[in-house]
Structure 1
Amino acid sequence: MITLKSPQEIEGLKAAGALVAKCHKEIAKMIRPGITTWDIEEFVEDMLAKAGARAYTKGYKGYKYATCASVNDVIAHGFPNKTPLKNGDLVKIDIVAQLNGWIGDSAWCYGVGELSPEAEKLMRVTKECLDIGIRHAVIGNRIGDAMHALQKHAESHGFSLVRDLAGHGVGRELHEEPSFIHVGTPGKGFRFKEGMVFTIEPMVNAGTWQMTIDPDGWTCRTADGSLSAQFEHTIAITKDGPLILTDQGD
């Protein structure tokens, strides 16, 4: 069942989202060749703790880290490590903070140093997909309308949408209803209603949409080894349109 949030509850979610957005803005300043995803992990955990928040993913279903750090062909749920990032890498950092009982969830893709034209295009199109999905998330539309629009955009550039990982509702828990994949048919699926809060988080691959999972049970990779990018916001549906709760102000 989809739980609609009150304006007061959305304010709580917005505070958690703002903290995650602040983390991402600081990470953007850190990204360069030679830095490690473990440096980012330690930075985020410290920043959340100083703000009185908890890194929700640490301990979630046995996951050990405050961030997910996914490089190049890793789509999602990669482990942070001490391998230096190199020129041309794409790194996706996913952060979930719990502040005063409410969840903020956002992933961002960062280019390291000078990117290849393909990587630059993939990042640009993926961010455009996120923006398109958010624009279509208005009262009266259906999830199929929004997901079809972003799917069409990605595929028009020769890219594909991951279908085995989903967007989801957000509240006091990380994964609430609704759950949906980032492909769709216009006029199908649930209809957007005021008070809904959920993520839109397209994962766009340069090659096939299919993926594999490493023996660690977490790390999701493109099946063909192609690059993958992701941008994710948590949004609330309001009478005035979609409200981005993890807005970085850019």
Structure 2
Amino acid sequence: MIEILNSTELARARVAGSVVADILHTLKARAAVGTNLLDIDRWAGTMIADAGARSCYVDYAPSFGRGPFGHYICTAVNDAVLHGLPHDHELADGDLLTLDLALSKDGVAADSAISFIVGESRPPASVAMIDATERALAAGIAAAGPWARIGDISHAIGSVLGQAGYPINTEFGGHGIGSTMHQDPHVANTGRPGRGYALRPGLLLALEPWVMEDTAELVTDADGWTLRSATGCRTAHSEHTIAITDEGAEILTLPRPA
């Protein structure tokens, strides 16, 4: 299903996106050496409820997971990259943490992810990998606009990641979003320009470049959810929800000004 939102629904999407962004950046500020992933999950649940929103994850039970997910946020540490199931784990100095949050407010969903390093250490390879996903995300957004093609976005993202030297997995990528979290069209993190669905004003997309340092192969944890690099290498993931407008692409998951 591909949804095209009207102006009223788009206004709701802006609110949902701001809530996602505010929660993610509050959690980033709270995440410190010794913070438990279960505390992050609990904080996320409280903030979602306080915002009058609903988690897209608690009851989420797709075919590839061992559902329902049962938590409010995905927390992926170091070699984990996608669908990180919160568990009893305390963060250490230098850990690379990815927080991925999707929620629905007033019938419209928004989805975003950030990767960052906990504590004072700044491992250069991890810094470079996070930077590559952020630059790839910016390139994908720049390529999005009315009547551009999905392939244009995929090509822009893949060009940045490939030039940075990272293998690219195409099994999981970006996606349409609207009244539900995951919709068509799929947005692979590499592709050919000029191909695929033509973007229309009112379309929402969640773009999410993610990479693993030295492999494109994923393995699944015994929890049935958490996806890790097959080699144990570190990973990074950046994501925004955008709206296609008559003027271009509007980022919905930016924090509101203080």
Same fold at TM > 0.5: yes
Matches of 1:56 and 1:149, distance apart in 2: 28
- Paired position in structure 1 for 2:172: 165
Q: CA offset at residue 105 of structure 1?
A: 1.0
Deviation >4 Å, runs of 4+: none
The 8 Å contact of residues 213 and 221 in structure 1, kept in 2 or not, is answered as yes
Verify: 1:104 aligned to 2:104, yes or no: no
Q: CA offset at residue 249 of structure 1?
A: 5.6
Report SS of the residue matched to 2:241. strand
Verify: 1:193 aligned to 2:170, yes or no: no
Verify: 1:70 aligned to 2:73, yes or no: no
Q: CA offset at residue 200 of structure 1?
A: 0.1
Unpaired runs of at least 5, structure 2? 62-67
Unpaired runs of at least 5, structure 1? none
RMSD between aligned alpha carbons? 1.4
What pairs up with 1:1-250 in 2 under 5 angstroms?
A: 1-61=1-61, 62-113=68-119, 114-248=121-255
Q: Which amino acid aligns with 1:83?
A: H
Matches of 2:25 and 2:98, distance apart in 1: 14
Q: Which amino acid aligns with 1:189?
A: G
Q: Which digits, 9 at most, give the CA deviation of each residue in 1:224-248, with x for residues without a partner?
A: 1111100111111001110111112
Q: CA offset at residue 19 of structure 1?
A: 0.5
Q: Equivalent pairs: percent with the same residue?
A: 33
Q: Which amino acid aligns with 2:86?
A: P
The 8 Å contact of residues 35 and 90 in structure 2, kept in 1 or not, is answered as yes
Q: Which digits, 9 at most, give the CA deviation of each residue in 1:112-149, with x for residues without a partner?
A: 12121000100111111111101100123211112112
